[in-house]
């Protein structure tokens, strides 16, 4: 599976106590299969909202989204969920780990959804945790981990099933230099394997590991440059 993304005129308007808030304002964006894109932009500019639309977690007010040639907003919910589970890995800005599951159980979740057998799941999850330097914390619950460790569990969960599309919202936001470098190395390796990557970051040096940098301002894409 290769992932090509095409958003056309996507607008997302929220209503907050009667007042409209425009989070995305006629965004059009094409990302080719295998691209590595970083997105930068001020807080509140719409980056996370855009990522949620791209990841089929939100349906915008207006616009069209073609993912691998399929008009995804026209699909039924079940079809969208299956597409998401099979091909998309997420690193959420606030991690979104299941608080009742240990680190290794959290990482196993996408493998369960993908129907992988129990014994293989455990081995794959342990290997993914080892890659992010968490071999010693596999049986900890999220509340027993530091913020940066939770972020690394979230990263392992997003990449354990080697999805065709990885959407990462500030995946290095809470990490020191060394952990940041290892996460960026892992993203690079996933990209080399063929995954399409979309990473939101406030860190200009992290953005430089991408091959294309998009800038978001007030719900619009105002910059798009190749590195």
User: Between 65 and 104, how does the x/- string for binding to ligand ATP read (CB under 6 A)?
Assistant: ----------------------------x-----------
* Integer Rg of the chain from CA: 17
Q: Is the dihedral of CA 173, 174, 176, 182 positive or negative?
A: negative
Tell me how far CA of residue 74 lies from CA of 9, 95, 209, in angstroms.
16, 29, 35
For residue 21, the minimal CB distance to ligand ATP (Å) is: 5
For residue 16, the minimal CB distance to ligand ATP (Å) is: 5
The DSSP secondary structure of 8-46, one letter per residue, reads: EEEEEEEEETTEEEEEEEEEEEEE-TT-EEEEEE-TTSS
Question: Is residue 209 near Mg ion by the rule CB under 5 A?
Answer: no
Question: Is residue 47 near ligand ATP by the rule CB under 6 A?
Answer: yes
Q: Which of 29, 40, 48, 151 binds ligand ATP (CB under 6 A)?
A: 48
Question: Is residue 48 near Mg ion by the rule CB under 5 A?
Answer: yes
Residue 68 main-chain phi, psi, to 5 deg: 55, 40
For residue 207, the minimal CB distance to ligand ATP (Å) is: 13
The residue among 49 and 159 lying less far from ligand ATP, judged by its C-beta, is 49
Give the whole-angstrom CA distance, residue 156 versus residue 91: 9
Helix, strand or coil, per DSSP, at residue 206: helix
Question: Is residue 23 near ligand ATP by the rule CB under 6 A?
Answer: yes
User: Between 149 and 188, how does the x/- string for binding to ligand ATP read (CB under 6 A)?
Assistant: ----------------------------------------
Name the DSSP class of 114.
T
Q: Is the dihedral of CA 36, 47, 219, 88 positive or negative?
A: positive
Question: Is residue 21 near ligand ATP by the rule CB under 6 A?
Answer: yes
Question: Is residue 196 near Mg ion by the rule CB under 5 A?
Answer: no
């Amino acid at each position: 599976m290769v992932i090509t993304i095409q958003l056309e005129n996507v607008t997302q308007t929220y209503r907050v106590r009667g007042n409209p808030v425009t989070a995305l304002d006629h965004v059009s964006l094409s990302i080719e299969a295998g691209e590595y894109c970083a997105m930068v932009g001020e807080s509140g500019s719409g980056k996370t909202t855009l990522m949620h639309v791209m990841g089929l977690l939100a349906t915008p007010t207006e616009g069209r989204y073609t993912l691998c040639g399929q008009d995804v907003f026209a699909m039924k919910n079940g079809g969208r969920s299956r597409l998401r589970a099979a091909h998309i890995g997420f690193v959420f800005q606030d991690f979104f780990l299941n608080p009742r599951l240990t680190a290794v159980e959290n990482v196993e979740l996408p493998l369960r959804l993908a129907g992988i057998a129990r014994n293989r799941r455990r081995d794959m999850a342990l290997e993914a945790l080892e890659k992010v330097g968490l071999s010693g914390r596999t049986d900890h619950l999220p509340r027993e981990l530091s913020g940066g460790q939770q972020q690394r569990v979230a990263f392992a969960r997003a990449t354990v099933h080697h999805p065709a599309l990885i959407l990462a919202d500030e995946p290095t936001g809470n990490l020191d230099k060394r952990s940041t470098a290892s996460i960026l190395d892992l993203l690079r390796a996933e990209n080399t394997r063929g995954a399409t990557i979309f990473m939101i970051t406030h860190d200009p040096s992290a953005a430089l590991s991408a091959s294309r940098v998009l800038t978001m301002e007030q719900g619009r894409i105002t910059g798009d440059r190749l590195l």
